[in-house]
Amino acid sequence: MKSEDLKILLLVVSLSALPGTVFAQSDTNTIFRFLDVTPTASASALGGNHTGLYSGDYAGFHINPAYLFGAETGSVSATFVNQLVDSKMGFTNGAVKLNENNYAGIGIRFVGYGDFETIDERGNELGDFNATDIAISGVYAAKLIKGWNGGVGIDLVYSSYEQYKSSAVAISGGVYYKNTERHFSFGAAIRHLGTQLSTYNGIREPMPLDVSVGITKKPAGFPAEVSITLRRLNNWDMKIVGESGKPDFFDNAFRHIILGGMFDLSENFRFRMGYNRYLHELNKTKENFDFAGVGFGVGFHVRNFIIDISRNSYSETGAVVQLSIKTTLQK
């Protein structure tokens, strides 16, 4: 058996073995939700975690591990997020080209929720503590057949909230196809399939599992490429807070969709916009449409740097701004 055939067989067997476990872990009350935060400003501006972006690269391998394929050795990225209130969040990725068909990457995701004061039931101050989440990821990607790449990753996750601590391990896998002649791409990924190694209070909770598929296409004569992703296919009923019964079928279906569009305004400048219906439903504060769930941003090249900025509205709650910087370290 050829090495390419063996890689495809291993990937197909791995992905086909997952659905039983996937659907067993479907749960909206999951832990480590910071793993769901979109890791790059470019994807965030398009509405969220798109698995089939035409411009997908190593900076987004948390979304689809197959994005890692094609990275140059020494490629590094960093994303800074101004989360709401005093929270601080950051992501960083690095990549190494092992050979023409094999790539490796490492990434860190970190969230700091600020300082909290501990007070007992009598009002006595017991000191301050920090609440943090961190995940360290290792990713491998390889060429499957012409135009098709595959990737797998493992996450080691740790959270600490005063005396409450928890750790977990999770795996992710994905495939990615790109056709430059037709300006078309397709991606599918299973993210965060795993389990807790230690629990906060002795009760085991499910991971934020996400099964997604997506495409990107630039129609002939159209000024923008359009991205569509179907997310949370492992969890059909995507209820929002306060919703007791089943959502309306069509409204629920729309909650699984992320829409985005990117305009190439010049060789070095791009404009992006996107819409996430589920985030809109979660954060809207008015009967009429407001900008909750809407994202937009810009990207530009400055010498050896690619800089992306995005802003995502959470209605009257505020907005989240992300800044991503990518570069390749000189040898």
Closest residue by Cα to residue 232 from 36, 45, 47: 36
Q: Indicate whether 219 belongs to any domain.
A: yes
Q: Indicate whether 115 belongs to any domain.
A: yes
Q: Indicate whether 287 belongs to any domain.
A: no
Q: Name the band, by pLDDT with cuts 50, 70 and 90, for residue 258.
A: very high
Domain count, the chain: 1
pLDDT tens, residue by residue, 268-291: 999 999 999 888 887 777 655 578
The pLDDT score that the predictor gives to residue 16 is 38
- DSSP annotation string for 42-90: HHHHTTS--SS-TT--GGGTTT-GGGGTTPPTTEEEEEEE--STT-EEE
For residues 141-168, average pLDDT: 93
Report whether pLDDT(26) > 70.
no
pTM: 0.85
For residues 34-38, average pLDDT: 93
Closest residue by Cα to residue 33 from 168, 164, 212: 168
Q: Indicate whether 323 belongs to any domain.
A: no
Domain around 89: 3-264
Q: Indicate whether 306 belongs to any domain.
A: no
For residues 24-47, average pLDDT: 81
pLDDT tens, residue by residue, 230-252: 999 998 888 777 777 787 888 88
Q: What count of residues does the chain have?
A: 331
Q: Tokens 């995940």 label which residue?
A: 135
Q: Positive or negative, the Cα torsion across 286, 292, 293, 296?
A: positive
Q: In this predicted structure, which of 38-42, 200-204, 312-316 has the lowest mean pLDDT?
A: 312-316
Q: Indicate whether 162 belongs to any domain.
A: yes
Q: Which amino acid is at 4?
A: E
Q: Indicate whether 313 belongs to any domain.
A: no
Q: Indicate whether 185 belongs to any domain.
A: yes
